[in-house]
Structures are given as C-alpha cells and as structure tokens.
Amino acid sequence: MGANTLLSSKKQRKLLFSAGLSWMFDAMDVGMISFVVAALAKEWSLKSEQIGLLTSINSLGMAAGAAAAGILADKYGRKNILLWTLVIFSAATGLSALAAGFAILCVLRFIAGFGLGGELPVASTLVSESVEPAERGRAVVLLESFWALGWIASALIAYFVIPSYGWRLALVIGAVPVLYALYLRRAIDDSPRFAGIRKAPVPFKTRFASVWSADYRKSTVMLWILWFTVVFSYYGMFLWLPSVMVLKGFSLVRSFEYTLIMTLAQLPGYFTAAYFIEKFGRKFVLVVYLFFTAVSAAWFGFASSEGMLIAAGICLSFFNLGAWGGMYAYTPELYPTAVRSTGVGMAASFGRIGGIIAPLLVGVLVGQSVGISSIFLLFFATIIVGAIAVLFLGKETKGTDLM
C-alpha cells in the first residue's frame, strides 16, 4: 500500500508539473500581449479604442475556446484536448509576429485566444480528477500558481527583449510551447475518472440540460456570476496595467519595471490561497480574497504617489490571483464526472464575455478622458458582486469526493 501511494504521489506531482508548464505558457502569452500592446500603441499610433479591441478579441477567442474545449473534453478526453489547445495557441502566437497590420493581428489573436481559453478549464479538470480529496483543492491552486510564473516570464521578456529587439521577437518566443506539446503527449495520462466513463459518453444535449438541472442550477448561476466578475475585473485591470502606468506619467520601460514588481506578488497570493483552501475551505478563500481584491482596486485607482501605486498594485496581484486559484479549484468540484468539463467550460466561457467587454470598456472610457480612479471603482463594485454570489449561493466542497 505504501509503495502504491508513493507511485500515485509521484504521478500526481508529474501531472501537476507537466500541466503547470502548459498553464505557464498560457499565462506568458496573455501577459505578453499586454506588454506588446503598450509597445504597439507607440509604434503603430494606436488609439485607446484599438488597444481595447485587440485585447477584447483575444478574450472573444478565449470564450469560444473554453466552451468548445469543455464540450469536446467530455467526449474525447482531457489529455487530447489539452494537447490540441496548446498547439493552436502557440502556433497562432508565433504567426502573430509576422502580422503586417492591425486587422491580421486581431485575427491571429482570436485564434490564439481560442487555444488559450480552451486549455485552462481542461487542465484544471484533469488535475482535479486525478488527485485525492484531501489534496485536490491545493493541487489545483498550485496548478494556477504557474500562471504567475508565466506572467513573470512575459514581464522579463518585455523588459529585456521589447525595448531592444522589438515586439515581434517577443511573440516568436511565445511560439515555443508548440514543442512542449510533443513532450506532453507522452508525459501525462488522461484522468482515471474520465477513463471510467469513456465507453459511455453522455450526449451534449444531456450534459447541457444536466448543468442547468435542479441539482446544479444554483451552483451554475453562482459560478457564472463569479467567473464573469473575476474575468471582467482581471482583464480590465491587468491587460491595461502597463498602459495605465504610462497614463500615470511613467515611461514605457519604467511601466514594465513596475508591472514586473507587481507580478511577483502573484506567487505568495497563490501559495497562501493553496494553504487556506484546505484549512478553511473554498468559500472562505474566494470571499476573503475577492473582498481584498476589491479594496486593492479602489486603492490603486486613487493612488497618487509612486510608492502607493506600487503597494496597491502588489496587493491587487496578491489577492486577485489567489482568488483565481480558488475559483479554478472550486469549479470542477460542483459537477459530476460525466458533465464536469462541460460545466467548467461553460462557466469559463461565460466569464470570458467579461474579458471581452472590460478591455473595450476601459479603452472607451480612457478615450473619453474618464479618470483612472473612476474606472477602478467600477472594478471594485464588480468584484464585490462576485464575492456576494459565492457567500450566498455557493456550497462548501472541501474534502468531498468527486461525483
């Protein structure tokens, strides 16, 4: 028994690390576009509305990818869809480096977003189904922590590559994950729970109806509100972060520097959430971390000095990304195996609509000379709505067996 447990533990660690690297590449791509956009704004003389459009098109692709991959992963397996999404987004990112104009770049960013949006819910479902209840929440939050590594990598590439060699080389580096997919094909297995139902997959209509059935309707409503508010606020704030720093009077290189410092705070945010999620539960982590994310957003919006801006940005990164970890851990636990990936994918897809609206909205508001403080108050209110939804509609899943 001890040997089997040790073998299982090793396999779980390998799965977590392998899926985590794919998650890191995902984050590196999303982070890269925020830095590339800041550079493009100067090189191509983009208006704030165009910056918002480019980042929103990426999220539009993520919405489509999350829904499609979630549905397909319940039919063809978590591993297969994970590999295909990885190939799609990394190939499209590499091709983005060749874009000669704004329109073609938007098309390629949609395709990259499709792969990105599909990979995340499938990877979290795969890890959630492969780990025992006592460690499941912590494992998924630690998987999410690779997101911070990806953002740190993108910030470093932006700082050292973009000012000297241009944004095109940064996007070429973003194509590297296509090679990793070849390794991943042999390195991981599909989830044992999916293998158990593989011979009798549930039709999509039945899965969709199940997600909205009386047993799961309350959880689905809560998750859709949670995902929308978290994604709306995250992509509205973080994709605009380098540009907001420029708007506050810092140089492009200086804004990259400060964004890197803020990004480093994501890691302790994840690690503390990973600890608390198994100690106090999913609802505790989500409600507390979302509340302090909201407070940090308001603080960042009103920050007037350099020190306050950095401190508020660090707190924003810490609490917001800790909440993301809790959300990814919580979501797969609310559905049974036969419809889990569909339920997760649909919630993530609806959330991505927030990621489409927010960057566009910020672009319009900035274009109309609305103050940064007013914009970040909007994010404060949105995040509070998400926290309230979890508090009153969510049920605790800590330590429960997956259905």
Higher-confidence residue of 295 and 164: namely 295
Q: How confident is the model over 33-88, as pLDDT tens digits?
A: 877 887 888 788 888 778 778 877 888 898 899 889 888 888 888 888 988 998 89
How sure is the predictor about 190, in pLDDT bands with cuts at 50, 70 and 90?
A: confident
Q: How confident is the model over 222-249, as pLDDT tens digits?
A: 999 999 999 999 888 876 776 676 766 6
Residue 237: alpha-carbon gap to chain centroid? 13
Whether the CB-CB separation of 363 and 356 falls below 8 Å is answered with no
Percent of the chain with pLDDT over 90: 27
d(CA 42, CA 249): 15
Q: For residue 37, what are its two tokens?
A: 């956009």
Superfamily of domain 10-183+204-393 in CATH is MFS general substrate transporter like domains (1.20.1250.20)
Q: What are the extents of the domains in the chain?
A: 10-183+204-393
Residue 2, pLDDT above cutoff 70: no
Whether the CB-CB separation of 132 and 402 falls below 8 Å is answered with no
Helix (H) / strand (E) element for 321: namely helix 306-330
Angle between helices 2-43 and 48-76 (to 10 degrees): 150
User: Span 142-168, mean pLDDT?
Assistant: 85
> Given this model, what pLDDT does residue 5 score?
37
Residue 213, pLDDT above cutoff 60: yes
d(CA 187, CA 179): 13
Whether the CB-CB separation of 143 and 123 falls below 8 Å is answered with yes
For the entire predicted model, the pTM comes to 0.81
> Given this model, what pLDDT does residue 7 score?
32
Nearest CA to 282 out of 321, 316, 322, 320 is that of 322
Residue 184, pLDDT above cutoff 60: yes
Nearest CA to 19 out of 92, 85, 114, 95 is that of 85
3 Cβ partners below 8 Å, 6+ apart? none
How sure is the predictor about 197, in pLDDT bands with cuts at 50, 70 and 90?
A: low
> Given this model, what pLDDT does residue 8 score?
54
Cα angle: 61, vertex 62, 65; to 5 degrees: 85
Query: CA 271 → CA 24, 138, 262, 307, distances in Å?
Result: 16, 9, 16, 25
How sure is the predictor about 1, in pLDDT bands with cuts at 50, 70 and 90?
A: very low
Cα angle: 35, vertex 38, 43; to 5 degrees: 120
d(CA 386, CA 137): 20
Q: How confident is the model over 276-331, as pLDDT tens digits?
A: 998 999 999 999 999 999 999 999 888 877 788 888 889 999 999 899 989 988 99
Whether the CB-CB separation of 27 and 151 falls below 8 Å is answered with yes
The residue with tokens 């140089």 is: 251
Q: Which of helix, strand or coil describes residue 203? A: coil
